[in-house]
Structure 1
Amino acid sequence: MTPHPTAVVTGGAGDIGGAIAQALSRQGYRTLITDVLPDDVGRARAAELTTRSAVRYRYADTTSATDVSAVIEHGDGPLHVAVICAGTVAAQPFLDIEPDVWRRTLEVNLTGAFLAAQAAARRMIAQEVKGHLIFISSWVAERPWPEIAAYSASKAGMNQLMRTAALELSAHGIRANAVAPGIVMAGLARTQFETEPQYAARASQAIPLGSPHTAEQIADAVGFLASPAAASMTGSIMTVDAGSSLGTLS
């Protein structure tokens, strides 16, 4: 690994994105997080996440091609790792999903992922960097879960986007992989665990190892992919879900 590698994490101010940025900083990556927070709030969050190497913040809406181009494609210096983490999820039964919610979910989770990955790859090619695109997918891309059809569809699309990018970009020495978390105590899942007893009971039964995992455990998986140990991996999905995708015996 180069002495001063650089990384960008979209959605890097959130629970999972923040844990990933912190892990990369610990590994020596100079890391830029992007999100939609005001600059002062984003800079404060970046300071919290800084460990070994500096974490910086830039505002960027990943659904905006203009924002993504300015911050990622035309950013300063070489780019070695891009973590595509920005996302949104809304819990609605299939029959109640509103078209605007469906469109917004796919716009953020799939179109946003495409724009960020494309911008990062273009920058890597322009700078002759054999970089790595790491997508944050989900176990529900492969296994249905109630009330998040839009989210599940967007993550299934992300997986195929990742595989196609891995195939096409291999000629440039650029790799693409994904981490597929299960039920993580972060974001909407954490809120539902804390406020909806029925959800907590259902989710707990869906985890063979017994309990949801942490954002830090997802960050550990990303850290592995960003390390020399994963140098021969491309087009792969690393599932980190405490066994949820296996189903249960009951």
Structure 2
Amino acid sequence: MTIASVGELFDLSGRTALVTGASSGLGWRFAEVLAANGANVGIAARRTDRLETLKSEIEARGGHALPVPLDVTDIDTIAPAFDAVEKAFGPVDILVNNAGVAAEGFIADMNPADWRKVLDTNLDGVFLVGQEAARRMTAVGKGGSIVNIASAIAFKVSKTLGAYAAAKAGVVQLTKVMALELADANIRVNAICPGYIETEINSDYFATEGGKKMIQRYVPMKRLGDIKELDGTLLLLASDAGSFITGTPILVDGGIAL
């Protein structure tokens, strides 16, 4: 029996990926990592102006990327996004369901519109885009990998994050159902559940005294996660290295959910 090298295990050459919410934060990084390991990547978001910058950065490193407009809450934009990526690169066999929003507020005070916005994007969006991917991967018949981005908050809640926690817990359970239903088509469905990962969106807050106290209080490892610390988990789930892993939520949270 041959022994694969690390490079062979995680090689994504010839694969086509679609990353939602790719215009910033985790989605931006996920797209870069997939492209750096050989995948042709459809980068999708509402803010298509930022996607052009990401495309240029990926191509400067020798990768291939295609910006596509996609609002995960608008079902009419989903199929055209897949169509565009497939026309450029071939059938999508890796989906990273990353698009998400947050809205804070105590349950008793939360505006129902804010609740609905979070659930529409973070849960319904994962369902709608995942459904489209599942149908297309099944039709092609070559299997694939769907990686849903959940959160450590799905397992250990915090005050004022009720909508976010409910949505991400729903993503975990949806991931398991999708995995069960799609297993016989060789489509693996897993979830990455990050803890507090430093991004351009939250870095200013975590630099404040309140943010520093929050890290010390809630993160057993006493630090934020670096965005690159999600790379290995993403590659494991997207590549053949994780070919027998499905229905699994993987916590990358510094111990928050313990």
Do both proteins adopt the same fold according to a TM-score greater than 0.5, normalized to the shorter chain?
A: yes
TM-score relative to the length of structure 2: 0.89
Q: Aligned partners of 2:142 and 2:28: how far apart in 1?
A: 25
**Which deviates further from its counterpart, 201-210 or 83-92?**
201-210
Distance 1:152 1:191, change over 3 A: farther
Q: Aligned partners of 2:129 and 2:82: how far apart in 1?
A: 7
Task: Give 1:99's aligned residue.
Answer: 112
Matched, 1:30 2:40: yes
Task: Give 2:220's aligned residue.
Answer: 208
Task: Give 2:6's aligned residue.
Answer: none
Matched, 1:44 2:53: yes
- How far apart are residue 151 of structure 1 and its match? 0.4
Of 246, 249, 255, the residue aligned with 1:234 is 246
Give the match's secondary structure for 2:99.
coil
Does the 8 A contact of 2:151 with 2:195 survive in 1? Answer: yes
TM-score relative to the length of structure 1: 0.91
Task: Give 1:112's aligned residue.
Answer: 125
Q: Aligned partners of 1:219 and 1:101: how far apart in 2?
A: 31
> Matched residue pairs, number?
244
- How far apart are residue 188 of structure 1 and its match? 4.7
Task: Give 1:86's aligned residue.
Answer: 99
Q: Aligned partners of 2:106 and 2:212: how far apart in 1?
A: 17
Give the match's secondary structure for 1:219.
helix
Q: Deviations over 1:132-168 (max 9, x none)?
A: 1000100000111121110010000011111000000
Q: Deviations over 1:66-100 (max 9, x none)?
A: 10121126733211110000000122233321111
Does the 8 A contact of 2:103 with 2:115 survive in 1? Answer: no
Does the 8 A contact of 2:97 with 2:146 survive in 1? Answer: yes
Give the match's secondary structure for 1:13.
coil
Q: Aligned partners of 2:154 and 2:207: how far apart in 1?
A: 24
Question: Within 5 A, what are the aligned runs for 1:38-187?
Answer: 38=48, 40-50=49-59, 51-72=61-82, 75-76=86-87, 77-186=90-199
User: Which ranges in structure 2 are unaligned for 5 or more consecutive residues?
Assistant: 1-10
Distance 1:15 1:109, change over 3 A: same
**Which deviates further from its counterpart, 64-73 or 49-58?**
49-58
Does the 8 A contact of 1:20 with 1:216 survive in 2? Answer: no
Task: Give 1:5's aligned residue.
Answer: 15
Does the 8 A contact of 1:8 with 1:34 survive in 2? Answer: yes
Does the 8 A contact of 1:185 with 1:212 survive in 2? Answer: yes
Give the match's secondary structure for 2:254.
coil
Q: Aligned partners of 1:2 and 1:25: how far apart in 2?
A: 8
Does the 8 A contact of 1:7 with 1:81 survive in 2? Answer: yes
Give the match's secondary structure for 2:207.
helix
- How far apart are residue 49 of structure 1 and its match? 3.6
**Which deviates further from its counterpart, 98-107 or 55-64?**
55-64
- How far apart are residue 234 of structure 1 and its match? 0.2
Task: Give 2:7's aligned residue.
Answer: none
Q: Deviations over 1:105-158 (max 9, x none)?
A: 000000111011011111111222210100010000011112111001000001
Does the 8 A contact of 2:146 with 2:238 survive in 1? Answer: no
Q: Aligned partners of 1:206 and 1:144: how far apart in 2?
A: 11
Q: Deviations over 1:181-205 (max 9, x none)?
A: 001112554343135x324312332
Q: Deviations over 1:179-230 (max 9, x none)?
A: 00001112554343135x3243123321111101022212331112112211
Q: Aligned partners of 2:140 and 2:114: how far apart in 1?
A: 38
